[in-house]
Chain A
Amino acid sequence: MKLQVDAKEPVTNVIAAVAQEAQRQNVSDTLVHDLKVIVDEIHANLKMYVAADNPELNWVLGVDVGIECLDLVVEYPGPHFDPTNSKPMADDTLGSRADGGMGLHLITALSDEFHYNYQNGINTMIVRWNLKRDSKDNLLCR
């Protein structure tokens, strides 16, 4: 599934579409929950940091459920920005934990892999979960 997402789109609609596709593919409730959190993190960051300079920004959000893995793929035009190189969440005080890095920390903690690529002016982020199937043929995180 590939969605063209407008920066002005309410995140609720985007999350609902992703969750519906994942459920259609028998992805476990646990993983659907984690997907929802991560889609919100990505949507909020693109809206706040990328769409701020380009209100007409659109990005492509793909959900690809395979035999071995589930990939959430986000592609958007703009300057190079590698989120996998961002500083991790501070963990010393309540204030510093809330200040920054929390969204990125959630993305890495709730998924198995987080990759970034930049080519021809397009940023591509891939959030990946390794999968296995249980006896009911549901897809679970490994």
Chain B
Amino acid sequence: MSLEISVIQKSDEALGLRLDGSVDSDTAPELEATLDDMVHPSVTYLALNMSGVSFISSAGLRVVFKMLKQMKARDGQLMVTEMNPGVEKVFEVVKLMPDLSVFGSSEEMDAYLTSLQNQQNS
């Protein structure tokens, strides 16, 4: 299974991507290249909708770790939504969960982003 990457949200500070397929040793370089290209220095909120991800291996996890480090260095956040139980288990095994902002649905995450935006504007 290949990996499809679609942009679902894009602003100066926030980037949201939806991933469909598997994030494995063949597809992780493509994900990394896309993120390197799209995560500009102004981006502090990176959201990955993983509802279409069937599995992720260490090659994909390295990309997630890299993005997490970037977001933390900018006082930003890496947000993940709608992981299937297998993907969530893998994230737990490598102790990623405490460092991520995890949302059960895109609506939950959107509401959170809107509240952050409102705080910044007020």
Using a CB–CB cutoff of 8 Å, the interface residues on chain A facing chain B are 10-12, 15-16, 30, 33-34, 36-37, 40-41, 43-44, 47, 89, 91, 94-95, 97-98, 102-103, 105-106, 109-110
Contact = CB atoms under 8 A, between A and B. Distances in A.
The dominant DSSP class at the B interface is helix
B65 to A, nearest CB: 4
Contact of A12 (B1, B66, B89, B94): B1
Interface residues of B, number: 27
A97 B64 CA distance: 12
24 contacts: A11-B25, A12-B22, A12-B26, A33-B54, A36-B22, A36-B54, A37-B55, A37-B56, A37-B57, A37-B86, A40-B24, A41-B57, A43-B25, A97-B65, A97-B95, A98-B61, A98-B65, A102-B58, A102-B61, A103-B57, A105-B94, A106-B57, A106-B93, A109-B93
Contacts of B26: 10-12
Contact of B66 (A40, A47, A98): A98
B36 interface: no
